[in-house]
A and B are shown apart, each in its own frame.
Chain A
């Protein structure tokens, strides 16, 4: 089985591949669609990025003059540490983009919750 290239992936496919990478990162417990005002300023005018659309990708991607912008919100397990986890998430995203030959633009990752041991995880 060969790995996909950037040419093989639609924007939705690329977002899905990035989502897989983020979910697989140790310490990540959940993903949240983007929507911070700061981030919306980058994503303004881009359909499927605001978080208001029901089928918008969890990981938002958008081509910018600087390269492909990526954005995602995450919750992390307290024991893993937010700083260590978010850096791992960024590294994973950058590594995948590099492997696909995609020029990376800004990669925005935001921790929206730190889950303590014993706190209930949302159900599937």
Chain B
């Protein structure tokens, strides 16, 4: 089923700042179960990408979500704050990446924001993995030009990092092959943090 979505507030498909919403407002909206439905949020591509990212973040567990700013900060607060800040940036439509076609008159493309979203979604395939910053490097608006994907990740403590990274790289490459026609030159993955998940804390206690 599909719906009509009208980017609100004249922002078109390129929201400068999540169509006027903050990441905190979108987080509150998720807390309310997206109810009552806010058309301005639901009809904004940028807000949808940000909500996707927040949902993925929450799926990793309560330890990664800062529901109370006044509470004692968990050990990984810094990383999570970086991730939250990055969601806004990553949800922007950004550049338009061509999708190749031999059809006459076809001008097909996918937004940089959509690509970042599907790269982030690859973390679902690697338990405990959390992708932070994601960048597409290269002349991505030019068809056929080599593009390198660079991501920063946080990994769960206790797992062999090379194996985790290899699985993530494979997951990202698979998604890019299905959803883009970019000439992928490489996927650079930088492990920025090793986290102790809350579940592990509880099990230890």
Contact = CB atoms under 8 A, between A and B. Distances in A.
A58 B117 CA distance: 23
B163 interface: no
Contacts of A38: 96
Interface string A108-124: 11111111100111111
B7 A51 contact: yes
Contacts of B113: 112-113
Interface residues of B, number: 46
Contacts of A66: 105
B48 to A, nearest CB: 6
B2 A29 contact: yes
B55 A119 contact: yes
A4 interface: no
A34 B101 contact: no
B111 A110 contact: yes
Q: Interface residues of B: mostly helix, strand, loop or mixed?
A: mixed
A32 B13 contact: yes
Contact of A31 (B2, B114, B178): B2
Interface in B76-131: 93, 96, 99, 101, 103-111, 113-114, 117-118, 121, 124
A107 B13 contact: no
Interface stretch (B37-45, B61-69, B187-195): B37-45
B108 A50 contact: no
B70 interface: no
Contact of A87 (B5, B52, B103, B109): B103
| Chain A, interface residues (CB within 8 Å), range | 35 or more
B34 interface: yes
Given A82-B180, A86-B108, A35 B7 contact: yes
Contact of A94 (B103, B114, B181): B103
B32 to A, nearest CB: 13
B27 to A, nearest CB: 14
Contact of A106 (B10, B96, B105, B121): B105
B205 interface: no
B179 A73 contact: no
B6 A114 contact: no
B12 A51 contact: yes
A116 B14 CA distance: 21
Interface string A55-93: 010100000001100000101001001110011001100
Interface in B23-42: 34, 37, 42
Given A81-B179, A83-B178, A110-B96, A35 B103 contact: no
Given A35-B13, A78-B179, A110-B109, 16 more contacts: A30-B3, A31-B3, A34-B12, A36-B93, A40-B12, A51-B7, A51-B13, A78-B121, A91-B103, A94-B105, A107-B107, A108-B107, A111-B111, A114-B121, A123-B3, A123-B42
16 contacts: A30-B5, A33-B12, A35-B14, A73-B45, A78-B118, A90-B108, A109-B109, A110-B108, A111-B109, A111-B111, A113-B52, A114-B114, A116-B118, A122-B37, A123-B3, A123-B37
